[in-house]
Each structure stands twice: as structure tokens, then as C-alpha cells.
Structure 1
Amino acid sequence: MTASREKIFEALGDPVRRYILELVATGEQPAGMVVAAVQQHTRISQPGVSQHLKVLRAAGLVSVRAEGTRRVYALDPAGVGEAQSWLAELVDPLAQFAQPLDALATEVARGQRVRRKDRAAGESSGRDVRPA
């Protein structure tokens, strides 16, 4: 597992951080609203919530933007996609080979068409065409 994936899954290991992700998954949330919602959910200080947000940012699971003096948090699709990608590899470890195999199948079919075309051209000209 890559370092970024390790950070992602370490971040996801904490229930408070998972709850924060659920909050920001509904849309952008100002930091104050995230803190208030988390404090209603569990006993935690504002600096504690800020630390969880910092871990989620470092893992690439949330992004933050400044809006005046406020900080607004949102789910980062790239980090979520990285987690989904790793999980998908567990379910279907051969999926990474699907596209190259499709390309190979296309090349094999192309070669078969060329050979059929060459055979048909040879038969119409009366030549003896044998497969290579």
C-alpha cells in the first residue's frame, strides 16, 4: 500500500474522523458548523476537532478553502477515489489488467482479419496461401 493510502486508511480508522467525513460529504461545511455537529455527537473540544480536520486534510480526504475569516471544508474526491481504488483491487485483483487485455484482444482480432483477407486474396488469384 502506498504512503498516501496508508494515511487515508489511518485517518479512516477513527470514528470521529469518519463522522466528520459524513458531515462534509453532504456539502461544504464551515469549520464552526463541523465543530458544533461533532460536539453534539461526542464530547470533544474545538482544538480536538481541529486536529481531526488536520489529519483528514493531510490524508487528502478533505479540502479547505478560506472564505473571509472562515475556513470551509469539503470532501476531496481524489482522496476518496484513492481509497475506492485500493478497495476495488481487493475485490477484483485482475481488474488492472482488463484494459491491456482488451487491447491485446483487439490486436489479435485485427491480425485474424488481415490473415483472412490475405487468404481470400490468394484464393481469388489462384495462389497457394498458407498461414504463417
Structure 2
Amino acid sequence: MNKQDQLNMIKEDFINCQKILLAIGDETRQSILLVLMGTDCQTGLRVGEITEQTHLSRPAVSHHLKVLRDAGVILMRKEGTKNFYYINVRTELGLLKTLVLDIDKFMQNFY
């Protein structure tokens, strides 16, 4: 693959990752993700539990969870009237890995 093809692929990677990068670029959402990473992926946490661990207000946590969900970074599991949030490790975050790997391959040509 030539240099221009690689750059075009990286450009496409960036476009695919735009929502994810915006979602995880916020410091508050990063703290929520860190809290979620400290739990069992299958179980997840409820808004109240995230609120306790991040010391954010419930409306703030709900807002940030919505942004993360809309970007595909986290998922929600319903159990009756309870909602449990957990990190979506298999799909959208994988796009970031692809982006970083493609940039790494490109940069290896210069070293």
C-alpha cells in the first residue's frame, strides 16, 4: 500500500472514530469510564452507583452516560426497571485500536 492509500485509510479511521473521540475526550466522561472499568463487564453499574463513585450529580451522570451511549462506548442492560451501564469493549472502542494501529504502521515507514 502506498503512502497516499495509507493516509486515506487513516483519514477514514478518524472519521469512523469522531464520535468516540469526542465522547471520551471529556474529563468527566473519562472518570465515568474509569469507574465502569472497575466493575464486572456483565454486571455494570446503575446511575446512583456511578454518582456515588464520581461525586457528580445524578443529572450530570445521566447526561454523560447518554453521550457515551450515543457514541457506542457503553451499553445499557435493563433488568426490570433498573438500568445497568457497562463498557462496550467489542465494537466501537475497537475502531480506536484500528486507528492507532494504522497510524503506527504509517509511522514505521519514517523510522
Once the two structures are TM-superposed, the CA of residue 91 in structure 1 deviates from its matched residue by 1.3
Once the two structures are TM-superposed, the CA of residue 93 in structure 1 deviates from its matched residue by 2.8
1:11 to 9, 12, 23: 23
Letter of the structure 1 residue corresponding to residue 50 of structure 2: V
> Following superposition of structure 1 onto structure 2, how do residues 1-132 of structure 1 map, counting pairs within 5 Å?
1-2=14-15, 4-26=16-38, 27=40, 28-39=44-55, 44-77=56-89, 78-93=91-106
Letter of the structure 2 residue corresponding to residue 91 of structure 1: D
Tell me how far apart the structure 2 counterparts of residues 79 and 24 of structure 1 sit (CA, whole Å).
16
CA offsets per residue over residues 85-107 of structure 1, 9 Å max, x none?
11221111389xxxxxxxxxxxx
Once the two structures are TM-superposed, the CA of residue 74 in structure 1 deviates from its matched residue by 0.7
CA offsets per residue over residues 13-38 of structure 1, 9 Å max, x none?
11110111111123221221112111
Gaps of 5+ in 1: 96-132
Q: Superposition RMSD on alpha carbons, in Å?
A: 1.8
Q: Which has more radius of gyration?
A: 1
Which is richer in helix?
A: 1
Runs of 4+ in 1 over 3 A off after TM superposition: none
Percent of matched pairs sharing the same residue: 30
Contact 1:30 / 1:71 at 8 angstroms: preserved in 2?
Answer: yes
Q: TM-score, normalised by structure 2?
A: 0.73
Contact 1:56 / 1:62 at 8 angstroms: preserved in 2?
Answer: yes
Once the two structures are TM-superposed, the CA of residue 57 in structure 1 deviates from its matched residue by 0.3
- Higher RCO (CA < 8 A, seq sep 6+): 2
Once the two structures are TM-superposed, the CA of residue 5 in structure 1 deviates from its matched residue by 0.8
Contact 1:29 / 1:72 at 8 angstroms: preserved in 2?
Answer: yes
